[in-house]
Structure 1
Amino acid sequence: MKWHDFLVTDAIIADLKATDRDDAIIEMIDALIANGAAPADLRDDLIQQIVEREKHGSTGFGKGVAVPHVKHERIEKMAAGIGVSQKGVDFNALDKAPVYSIVLLLSPKDKPDEHLQAMENIFSNLQKDTFRRFLRQSTTREEIEDLIQEADAQQLTG
């Protein structure tokens, strides 16, 4: 599975305004909803589920990256947004460092295999120092889209 299979490019936020975890989640959920990735009436439920999950264990896995995610029965198609913060977000990450790059994934509850494939793609890219560095340095949606296209192309050859 490649990024273009689930990334909502109009839900890429190159300059997140939020400085704390909950506000960052809200900002990203709002971008996904605004671009048709989820029904507007799910907003509060999705935010609550993701924040609840974060309270039990942060998805900020270190190195300036977090991957909050939720499976919901009313999500019909997997969708992700990317947020880049220039200031850093306190995500209670495992390494206690601020998070600069966030990938938020919404998945249909009845498609766990697709969810795992998307998570595998996200994590395999975020494990790469160069990908993380370029993502963090991106200041426009276009730069992030170019990086994602390059990652998808490398997946074909790698």
Structure 2
Amino acid sequence: MLRSMPLRTRKHASSLTGKNVSATRSTEQSTPMATAKTEPMKLRELIIDKAIIPTLVATKRDDAIHELLDALVAAGKVSPQIKATFLKSIIDREKRGSTGLGKGVATPHAKHKSVTRPFVAVGVSKAGVEFNSIDKQPVHSIFMLISPEESPELHLAAIQSIYSQLSKDQFRNFLRQASTVAEVITILDEADAGH
């Protein structure tokens, strides 16, 4: 899967995982799975439209996570019965190390056995959310990823797709200015199209 990604994306993957992508590549080539060509994930394929919140109310990390989970429940992507499980998993992960990457973005995430494909809720905050980010600055864009428990390769591909866009100044700036769901969707579509 990493083999089919552009070199720049593979470099981002290395910084995210701390693994040598070249070494991963050579081992993948010897496995039968490596012969199947996998296209990089489009960001738009991950986003749940009904779980886009262009005006987050929350100003604290845990409240923002709760708000995004509520949107996923309302969109029918997370069962109300296991919402508390997701909430605990995401907050426990944040306590081990913040997913506030700096530059106003955060990527909280969790895995669960009930999930078959990765999906993402997006929250935008003009005021900013206190997220214990590495640069100690408020977060204005949150991409909350939910992935299958047994598919680490799908989780990594989704993280790479999100990170490759969030690393771009223009994408972050446009997203921060969005005030409607339609505007967020347009920005995501343009990002996937390479504009």
- Please give the TM-score of this superposition, normalised by the length of structure 2: 0.77
2:98 pairs with 1:58: yes
CA-based RMSD of the aligned residues comes to 1.0
Q: Which has the bigger relative contact order, CA under 8 A and spacing at least 6?
A: 1
Residue among 166, 176, 195 paired with 1:136: 176
Matched residue type, 1:62: G
Q: Secondary structure at the match of 1:100?
A: strand
**1:118-157 CA-partner distances (Å, limit 9, x unpaired):** 10010010000000000011111111000000111118xx
**1:22-69 CA-partner distances (Å, limit 9, x unpaired):** 000000011011111121111101001100110110000100000000
Gaps of 5+ in 2: 1-40
- Equivalent residues in 2 for 1:16-95, closer than 5 Å: 16-95=56-135
Partner of 1:11: 51
- Count of residue pairs brought into register by the alignment: 155
Alpha-carbon separation, structure 1, partners of 2:174 and 2:45: 21
**1:77-130 CA-partner distances (Å, limit 9, x unpaired):** 321010001110000000000000000000011111111111001001000000
Matched residue type, 1:83: G
| TM superposition shift of 1:3 | 1.7
**Is the contact made by 1:66 and 1:101 (CA closer than 8 Å) also made in structure 2?**
yes
Alpha-carbon separation, structure 2, partners of 1:31 and 1:133: 23
Gaps of 5+ in 1: none
Alpha-carbon separation, structure 2, partners of 1:66 and 1:8: 17
**Is the contact made by 1:37 and 1:77 (CA closer than 8 Å) also made in structure 2?**
no
Partner of 2:193: 153
Q: Which has the larger radius of gyration?
A: 2
Matched residue type, 1:98: P
- Please give the TM-score of this superposition, normalised by the length of structure 1: 0.95
Alpha-carbon separation, structure 2, partners of 1:116 and 1:56: 19
> Runs ≥4 in structure 1, deviation > 6 angstroms?
none
Q: Secondary structure at the match of 1:15?
A: coil
